[in-house]
Amino acid sequence: METVTIVSRQDQLPLKASIFVPEGEIKGIIQLVHGMAEHRFRYEPFMSELAANGLVAIMHDHRGHGESVLDTEDWGYFYENGAESIVEDTYQISRYIKERFEDQPLILFGHSMGSLVVRAYAKRYDNEIDGLIVCGSPSENKAAGMGKALAGLIGVFCGQRHRSKLLQHIAFGSYNKGLSDTVSDNSWLSTRKDVVAKYDSDPACGYIFTINGFKNLFTLMQKVYDTSGWLMQNRELPILFVSGEDDPCAAGKKNFKQAVQLMKDCGYIHVDSTMYPNKRHEILNEQDCEAVYQDIIDWIYHILQL
């Protein structure tokens, strides 16, 4: 594994990234984009498997996450113009890795909040990628506008760096509902108790977002589920949605299918989807995750005609 630092063109924030390069023939590039309140190191097993299958794997820590902060007190803080910058950072990483590995196809993969980022990216830059994987996608929440307004109001009185337990409860308080084996507020992440325990014990995971962070999260949600403004430069872009059937972010099969349909309504022709039974939010960290790895690799091989 190689570690690189890429300085954001948005505000000079140093972005840390990990790169796994295959030992043999390179068949393509997959750029991974992680979720909320986590970091790139959690994806190393998947990245290693991708590299073992001939794919260069790169992932950076989002601004306000992992090592892409000026101080760890900034975890969950996106800095200025965050919703725009987090998308542009991702595009900048794409340009970097494509210049290093010229003429290689690029697949973009986003999990959870990262799935919002990659769709906001595709809205503007779909001609820059050869495939899009949307993993653990939060389904549309009509209350995103109200959440953003509430965050703005709290920010007026408490500041942009305030961490609101109220917003945290509104956003995630119901996610364990219906689960019989809850050992943590984060049991909804995975059926594997060891995964949840490791997440809970990691100070770089699970922190409450700042007001700034929540506002930018809600902005991304609104942007992605707005059917206007898509440049549609690559209607034939292959797109794959994957999610666990028991993922509260998906909010059920009906809402999951609506998210898939929205991409078709925007004009994309090749949109596939899979929901995995008995799996929760982090399908890459679930029981039998190797089968999920293989499904994703098989799909990539298929669209790249390997």
Contacts of 102 (CB under 8 A, 6+ apart): none
What are the tokens at 53? 């299958």
Chain centroid, CA 289 distance in Å: 17
pLDDT along the chain (306 residues), means of 10: 98 99 97 99 99 99 99 97 98 99 98 99 98 97 91 97 96 90 94 98 98 98 95 98 97 96 97 97 98 99 95
**Bridge partner residues of 59 (DSSP):** 18, 32
Q: How far apart are CA 212 and CA 120, in angstroms?
A: 18
Q: What angle do CA 211, 195, 60 make, to 5 degrees?
A: 55
What are the tokens at 97? 């890795």
Query: Given the DSSP bridges, would you call strands 131-135 and 106-111 parallel, antiparallel or unpaired?
Result: parallel
CATH number of the domain where residue 23 is located: 3.40.50.1820
pLDDT at 233: 98
Q: How far apart are CA 55 and CA 47, in angstroms?
A: 9
Phi-psi region of 267 (alpha: psi -120 to 50; beta: other; left: phi over 0): left
Element (H, E) at 150: helix 144-158
Q: Are 237 and 122 in contact (CB under 8 A)?
A: yes
How crowded is residue 192: how many other Cβ atoms within 10 Å of its Cβ? Answer: 15
Contacts of 100 (CB under 8 A, 6+ apart): none
What secondary structure does DSSP assign to 219-264, as a single string? HHHHHHT--TT---S-TT--EEEEEETT-TTTTHHHHHHHHHHHHH
Counted domains in the chain: 1
Q: Which letter does DSSP use for residue 107 in this model?
A: E
Q: What angle do CA 223, 227, 228 make, to 5 degrees?
A: 85
pLDDT at 285: 98
Q: Are 5 and 31 in contact (CB under 8 A)?
A: no
Q: How far apart are CA 189 and CA 33, in angstroms?
A: 17
pLDDT at 179: 86
Exposed / middle / buried, residue 28 (Cβ in 10 Å: 0-12, 13-18, 19+):
buried
Q: Are 175 and 74 in contact (CB under 8 A)?
A: no
Give the residue carrying structure tokens 């507020």.
185
Contacts of 211 (CB under 8 A, 6+ apart): 151, 152, 154, 155, 158, 159, 160, 161, 162, 163, 164, 167
List the one residue out of 162, 151, 8 whose CA is nearest residue 77.
162
Question: Which domain, by its residues, includes 26?
Answer: 2-304
Contacts of 157 (CB under 8 A, 6+ apart): none
pLDDT at 180: 82
Phi, psi of 281 (to 5 degrees): -70, -45
